Amino acid sequence: MKKTLPFIFLLVLLALTGNKTYAQQLTAKEMVNKSYNLFLGKSSFSVMSMTIVRPTWQRSIKMQNWSMGDNYYLTLITQPTRDKGEVFLKSKKNMWNFIPAINRLIKIPPSMMMQSWMGSDFTNNDLMKQNSIVTDYKHTFAGSEKLEGYNCAVINLDPLPDAAVVWGKIKMWIIKKNLITMKVEYFDTHGKLVKTETASQIKILGGRLLPSHLEMISNTKKGHKTIIDILHQEFNVKGIKQNFFSIQNMRNIRPQSF
Amino acid sequence: MTASAVVLALFLALIMRSMQFGSYEQMIRAGVNQTGDLQVHDTGYWANQSIDRAFFYRKKLGETLHGIKEIKSILPGLQTFSLASYKKQTKGVLISGIDAAVYNKQNHLSNKIIRGKYLNPNKNEVLLGDKLAEFLKMHVGDTLVLLGQGYRGITAYGIYRVAGIFHLPSIEMNSEIVYMNLKTAQNFVYPYQPGLLTSLSVFIKDPGQLQTVKTETEHRIGPNYEVITWKTMLSDILQTIKADNVSGQIMLLILYIIAAFGIFSTVLMMTMEKRRQYAIMVSIGMEREKLVWVSIFETFIISVIGIVIGLILASPIIYYLHFHPIPITGEMAKMYLQFNIAPVLPFSIKAHIFLSQTIIILVLSLLSALYPIIYLSKFNVLKAFRH
């Protein structure tokens, strides 16, 4: 009896703290990786609206996106009329753009990666959705913070010595419970805050718990931000294979009904 | 003798400076024809020339500008950078949207068309420079694809038929500019709202009134716009002129030194020659002071005669060459044309040239009078007598 009591006590203790420690047992890198993969899957289809907000004007674009893993991504612009039919393709490390009005296919070179995508606060680089946020940085916990009522882990990302990244530092707030990234701050190599990405309106999308409202806010230009609203999301879409993400398909793709 | 030294010095100085200033004026005029005496932009455009700093033309702005009587003409413009492509060739170009009729009146672009026709104000066609057409392997009637950054982040794209090919003096303009109607350019860059412009080029009646017109325009159109003069827009030409001016001034300095020596040596010779005469005059009782004054007077008159003769000789030549400049041919001519300057050797007839050179030579002549003054004040009568 005397020998087993401490043993039982230990078991009970473990049982009580089991749930919490599981999440806490994730390293910072694992948390970032899991959060990054929330929007990905074997394949996915989504419908989004993007609104570019500026001090004196505003513009909205509607698009449909298909993806496979994180190497293949196809975006078709459906609104407004003038931009309708424009297609962006990410295939491994290359990015292409097709404009039907002039029937031209443009390969976007690495030198254009930091240019804004369609005039928004997202760059071509952001759209490439490279998992460099997992592989090119050193991840360290920097405490906890409550955001919008959610208990978040604060993680600092510092670039690895040989990493070819644009940012000097990134700071992420990830909800401990469901691993959704609530906020990301991007700093340049001089330590100046350049832009902030926030997520909100968490709901079930395509069977997963995801934020449906994302904002990319510029910290260098007052009143500049880009808002993305996810209108429809599906995962593990049928019939999407690698040849879907091809240059030929850029000319043929049509909007999908949902 | 002294007089002829003065004449020569003044003559050479005048010719040289007139030529230099003439070529400066020529360079500036060529530049101003392109940019206008003034330009009106949205604030901050000149410092950062991106399409996002374009502005919408408002009737009130036009009325205000037309109300300023010193303004001769106003040319609206929309310029943006774009990629131009034909089949497999692509090149970065400057799209220049112009009011075809008004622009032609100012710059006579229709006279520079070598193939095809000038812009038809009712069509959406483009004009290419001959070097650009050569690079893209395009002919009149082919269609050019344009793709670039539009206003407010939209993608600017379009397909346009080539109406004509032009040849301008500048190779740069022949290989980089695509002209199109203002409305065509506006639809290319931002079709959602009419009247987008990047600049209004203003030409004034009297170039001397530049600063006054600038201030008045700024005052009337308000703080939402900036008014930039050609002195800022053509600052690189002004820098070149400044540098060249310095080299010119150095050459002039050398000329003055040589001239000063010439004048001085003649004055010296004259004084030495008259030593005996001065000695006699002093010995029979003339006050040295009076002698000094006589010599100053003498030098002064000779200098003035020299200057007057110099002016009489130089002026007609300069005036003639101003109105009938010497043409430049061959390799030099090609170089001039590359800089968009007519290949002639120009002469300037600005008053300051004549005035400044005259004053400087006069001062030099008078300075050389110092020698006889000093000599006459001190010379030993007996010694002078003996030589």
**pLDDT per residue as tens digits for the range B120-133:** 999 999 999 999 99
Q: pLDDT band at residue B338, thresholds of 50, 70 and 90?
A: low
A102, B155: Cβ pair inside 8 Å?
no
Give the per-residue pLDDT at B258. 78
Q: Report the residue of chain A nearest B144, measured CA to CA.
A: A102
**Rounded Cα–Cα distance for residues B152 and A120 (Å):** 9
For range A43-71, the mean pLDDT: 92
**Rounded Cα–Cα distance for residues A86 and A88 (Å):** 7
Give the per-residue pLDDT at A21. 47
Q: Report the residue of chain B nearest A121, measured CA to CA.
A: B153
Q: pLDDT band at residue A4, thresholds of 50, 70 and 90?
A: low
A104, B147: Cβ pair inside 8 Å?
yes
Give the per-residue pLDDT at B99. 94
**Rounded Cα–Cα distance for residues B174 and B155 (Å):** 26
For range A35-60, the mean pLDDT: 91
Q: Which residues 109-148 of A are in CB contact (within 8 Å) with B?
A: 116, 118-120
Chain B residues within an 8 Å CB radius of A54: 152
Is B264:B368 a contact under the CB 8 Å cutoff? Answer: yes
Give the per-residue pLDDT at B33. 83
Give the per-residue pLDDT at A173. 95
Chain A residues within an 8 Å CB radius of B157: 99, 101-102, 104
Chain A residues within an 8 Å CB radius of B147: 99, 102, 104, 106
Q: What is the CATH number of domain A27-252?
A: 2.50.20.10
Q: pLDDT band at residue B358, thresholds of 50, 70 and 90?
A: confident
Residue B145 has its nearest CB partner, among A57, A86, A104, at A104
B145, A83: Cβ pair inside 8 Å?
no
A59 touching B (Cβ < 8 Å): yes
Residue B201 has pLDDT above 70, yes or no: yes
Backbone angles phi and psi of A166, in degrees to 5: -85, -30
A99, B155: Cβ pair inside 8 Å?
yes
Report helix, strand or coil for B115. Answer: strand
For range B254-264, the mean pLDDT: 78
Is A68:A240 a contact under the CB 8 Å cutoff? Answer: yes
Residue A101 has its nearest CB partner, among B153, B154, B157, at B157
Q: pLDDT band at residue B339, thresholds of 50, 70 and 90?
A: low
Q: pLDDT band at residue B343, thresholds of 50, 70 and 90?
A: low
**Residue A120, Cβ neighbours under 10 Å: how many?**
22
- Tell me how many residue pairs between chain A and chain B have CB atoms under 8 A apart: 36
CB burial of B291-307 (b: ≥16 within 10 Å; e: otherwise) equals bbeebbebbeebbeebb
pLDDT in tens, B55-102: 999 999 988 888 888 889 999 999 999 999 999 888 999 999 999 999
Residue A46's contacts (CB-CB under 8 Å, 6 or more residues apart) are A64, A65, A206, A230, A232, A233, A234
For range A73-81, the mean pLDDT: 93
Give the per-residue pLDDT at A18. 47
pLDDT in tens, B319-332: 777 777 777 777 76
DSSP one-letter string for chain A? -TTHHHHHHHHHHHHHHHHHHHHHTS-HHHHHHHHHHTT--SSEEEEEEEEEE-SS-EEEEEEEEEEETTTEEEEEEEESGGGTT-EEEEETTEEEEEETTTTEEEEE-GGGTTSBSTTSSSBHHHHTT-THHHHSEEEEEEEEEEETTEEEEEEEEEE-TT---S-SEEEEEEETTT--EEEEEEE-TTS-EEEEEEEEEEEEETTEEEEEEEEEEESSSTT-EEEEEEEEEEES-TT--GGGSSHHHHHH--PPP-
CA A166 to chain centre: 17
Residue B164 has pLDDT above 80, yes or no: yes
Mean pLDDT of chain B: 85
Residue A22 has pLDDT above 70, yes or no: no
Q: pLDDT over 70 for what percent of chain B?
A: 95
Chain A: nearest CA to B345, how far in angstroms?
A: 46
- Measure Cα distances from A135 to A157, A161, A165 in Å: 11, 12, 11
ipTM of the complex: 0.71
Residues in chain B: 387
Mutation choice for A interface testing from B157, B159, B187 by most A CBs within 10 A? B157
Residue B308 has pLDDT above 70, yes or no: yes
Q: Which helix (H) or strand (E) holds B275?
A: helix B275-283
B154, A54: Cβ pair inside 8 Å?
no
A11 touching B (Cβ < 8 Å): no
pLDDT in tens, A113-168: 888 888 898 888 887 767 688 889 999 999 999 998 999 999 999 999 988 888 99
CA B364 to chain centre: 30
Mean pLDDT of chain A: 88
Residue B154 has pLDDT above 90, yes or no: no
pLDDT in tens, B166-186: 998 778 889 999 999 999 999
Q: pLDDT band at residue B39, thresholds of 50, 70 and 90?
A: very high
Chain A residues within an 8 Å CB radius of B151: none
Q: pLDDT band at residue B361, thresholds of 50, 70 and 90?
A: confident
